[in-house]
Amino acid sequence: MSERSKRWKRFLYAWSGIVAAVKEEIHMKIHLAFAALAIVLASTFHITKWEWLVLLLTIGLVISLEMVNTAIERAVDLATKEIHPLAKAAKDIAAGAVFVSAIIAVVIGCIIFIPYMIR
């Protein structure tokens, strides 16, 4: 198999991971819905280039962390079926990371959009 073919397969594996997260995770759907809303608002208000950059980075961070959280949850579930304090901690900490990023995303959204809404 050529190096190009191997790279293409890796891309397809990554894409299938994104598709699986979107199909199977309700929280991913919620994050994507809010991301779509933010993009519609950004387009409506004609936000600046820098605001777009911050907005897109924020959306990417939340969605990426949700995917990492999902991967950690599935790996922990694969490793043990019993309730273990370390397994619970790993899952809770990963979920907490998503929660922190989502709260920061809301704050960033407010900082960007409220001035436009007030005008």
Determine what percent of the chain falls in helix, strand and coil, rounding each to the nearest 5. 90, 0, 10
Catalytic choice (3, 25, 51, 66): 66
Residue 65 lies in a domain: yes
Domain harbouring 85, CATH code: 1.10.287.3610
Q: What is the span of the domain harbouring residue 88?
A: 26-118
Question: Distances in Å between the alpha carbon of 48 and those of 14, 41, 57?
Answer: 31, 12, 14
This prediction's pTM: 0.89
Domain contains 90: yes
Q: Within a domain: residue 104?
A: yes
Residue 4 lies in a domain: no
- Total number of domains constituting the chain: 1
17 inside domain: no
- Catalytic site includes residue 66: yes
pLDDT of residue 41: 98
Torsion sign (Cα): 31, 65, 96, 92? positive
Run means of pLDDT, 10 residues per run, the chain, 119 residues: 86 95 96 98 98 98 98 94 91 98 98 96
